[in-house]
Amino acid sequence: MSLKLRNNQVKSSETRAICGLERLWGTSPLKSHYDVVLIGGGIHGLATAYYLAKEHGIKDVAVLERRYIGYGGSGRNTAIVRANQRTQENVKLYDEGLKLWPKLIDELDFNLMFFNCGNLNLAHSEAAVSAFRLAVSTANFCNVQSELLDPQQCKELVPALDISDRPYHPIHGGMYHGPGGIVRHDAVVWGLAKGAFKHGAHIHQGVEVLGIDTDGQKITGVQTNRGSISCNRLAVMAGGYSASVCEMVGMELPVHPLTIQAMVTQPLKPFLHHVVSSGAYHCYANQTLKGEVATGAHMDPQVNYSTTPTAWYMKHQAEALCEFLPCLKGVKFMRIWAGLADMTPDMAPIMDGNVMYDGLFIDVGWGYFGFKSGPITGKYMAEFIADDEAPDILKPFALNRFLENRYMGETAGATNYGHWN
Ligand SMILES: Cc1cc2nc3c(=O)[nH]c(=O)nc-3n(C[C@H](O)[C@H](O)[C@H](O)COP(=O)(O)OP(=O)(O)OC[C@H]3O[C@@H](n4cnc5c(N)ncnc54)[C@H](O)[C@@H]3O)c2cc1C
């Protein structure tokens, strides 16, 4: 490489590429019409743009992002990926999502830093062990690796765990899911933006959708801070803001924005080689490649749009962590941040098309599961938008399940027995 750089004949763009200085995606003129407009420059919007352009030849696509790409949950999450959801419909989708990461790294030619470290969920009661047993059976039924562990096996996996009777909630067992792990969230945002741009999609940062235009039963475009844009098809993928965007056409979604907070400790020598979650303590943790322990918790209880961290949460997190990982006593937190989760009553997402208006698609309600599912959902939402027909795997997630009282059983998966992120 150094020889090439000393060679005067190397073109400047080549030099930039060799040095890794080439821009990953570029700016494009904001047109007054697009075939498809996607609201939200998070993982879901970017992945959908990427697959529309790459796999369906639909390149007249704009991603409209009011701030910068990754400003929402996509740039704030704790990057946990796994497939052992609670219900079969969800397990199938997340399993495909988990298997997609290595392929995506190749396709995008971008290192997404997939760290397949496995996820251990702790059970702190016999009821939680029973719930794990059901979850393990469901996962295994769908050919997803998941196993039940006793406390001693949990300790062998994570020697730092306190499996004695000392903690307020002693450990009764665990559920281990080997295929899961961590993927670097910023890299996913940047890699998808790179791929979407390369295949012809436009990414517009600083463009806020302020209104949605309709004509009779059809979506016709959006009003933005940069003027009107007409479109044939429109998709709402606005994360925590999805419900308020849908309200622009009078659609009231069963989605509530809730704050989720996360933090990292000072860097430590490697001691935690898996993601560990505890429902009873409302706490999960993993050690990053830098050595920091990244940790998150349940959502704040009140519906709100705040992304301000709270002192209460810092105290809760410190106390909870030290209960099951007592070696962390005295370790300092270095950074704390918060983001929004768009939460549905059954903790499963809503993916639908031609809802209320022809040409209106929604991909919302991801709560704290929308990172791991981003690329696979983008792939299937692109198919939905291109073919105007829901792929089979998305059908159970239609909005009408709330009208028909067909709630999915993911709620217990997240809250009752420690199934976090
Ligand atoms: C602290 C935290 C930890 C989490 N941990 C995990 C985890 O470990 N694993 C996991 O799977 N998930 C996790 N999540 C959830 C995950 O981050 C989200 O579900 C996911 O990022 C949603 O992606 P998205 O593309 O749908 O939305 P977002 O990433 O939120 O993107 C939506 C974008 O829309 C933009 N927007 C909003 N309104 C408008 C408008 N009117 N006009 C234009 N643009 C607009 C926003 O600025 C935003 O950038 C976590 C979330 C948080 C906050």
pLDDT digits (tens, 9 = 90+) for 46-55: 999 999 999 9
Task: Kindly tell me if the per-residue pLDDT of 114 is higher than 70.
Answer: yes
State the pLDDT at residue 208. 98
Q: Whose CA is nearest to atom 2 of ligand 1?
A: 77
Q: Whose CA is nearest to atom 52 of ligand 1?
A: 77
Ligand 1 midpoint to CA 250 (Å): 22
Task: Kindly tell me if the per-residue pLDDT of 419 is higher than 80.
Answer: no
Task: Kindly tell me if the per-residue pLDDT of 221 is higher than 60.
Answer: yes
State the pLDDT at residue 15. 61
Mean pLDDT within 108-115: 95
**E strands present in 241-316:** 256-265, 275-278, 283-287, 293-297
The tens digit of pLDDT for each residue in 242-282 reads 999 999 999 999 999 999 999 999 999 999 999 999 999 99
Range with the poorest average pLDDT among 15-29, 95-109, 325-339, 367-381: 15-29
Mean pLDDT of the chain: 93
The tens digit of pLDDT for each residue in 377-388 reads 999 999 999 999
Mean pLDDT within 150-162: 98
State the pLDDT at residue 149. 98
Among 48, 50, 74, say which to mutate for ligand 1: greatest number of ligand atoms within 8 Å of CB: 74
Atom of ligand 1 nearest to the CA of 40: 34
Supply the DSSP symbol for 300.
Answer: P
CA angle 71/79/114 to nearest 5° reads: 120
Strands 283-287 and 293-297: antiparallel
State the pLDDT at residue 418. 46
Predicted structure pTM score: 0.94
Contact (CB, 8 A) for 358 and 385: no
Among 37, 63, 66, say which to mutate for ligand 1: greatest number of ligand atoms within 8 Å of CB: 66
State the pLDDT at residue 1. 39
Task: Kindly tell me if the per-residue pLDDT of 412 is higher than 80.
Answer: no
State the pLDDT at residue 14. 56
Give the model's confidence band at 133: pLDDT under 50 very low, under 70 low, under 90 confident, else very high. very high
**Structure tokens belonging to residue 286:** 């993993």
Task: Kindly tell me if the per-residue pLDDT of 416 is higher than 90.
Answer: no
Closest CA relative to residue 274, chosen from 287, 283, 289? 287
State the pLDDT at residue 11. 53
**CA distances (Å), 400 to each of 108, 115, 368, 397, 404, in order?**
35, 37, 22, 9, 6
Strands 33-39 and 227-236: parallel
| CB-based pocket (< 6 A), ligand 1 | 39-45, 64-67, 71-74, 76-80, 208-209, 237-241, 245, 260, 262, 296, 339, 341, 366, 368-372, 374, 421
Ligand 1 midpoint to CA 72 (Å): 4
State the pLDDT at residue 302. 87
Question: Which residue do the tokens 């790459």 mark?
Answer: 54
State the pLDDT at residue 2. 40
Mean pLDDT within 26-30: 95
State the CB neighbour count (10 A cutoff) for residue 13.
10
Buried b (16+ CB within 10 A) or exposed e, 135-167: bbebbeebebbbebbebeebbebbeebbbeeeb
State the pLDDT at residue 417. 44
State the pLDDT at residue 414. 42
Mean pLDDT within 333-344: 96
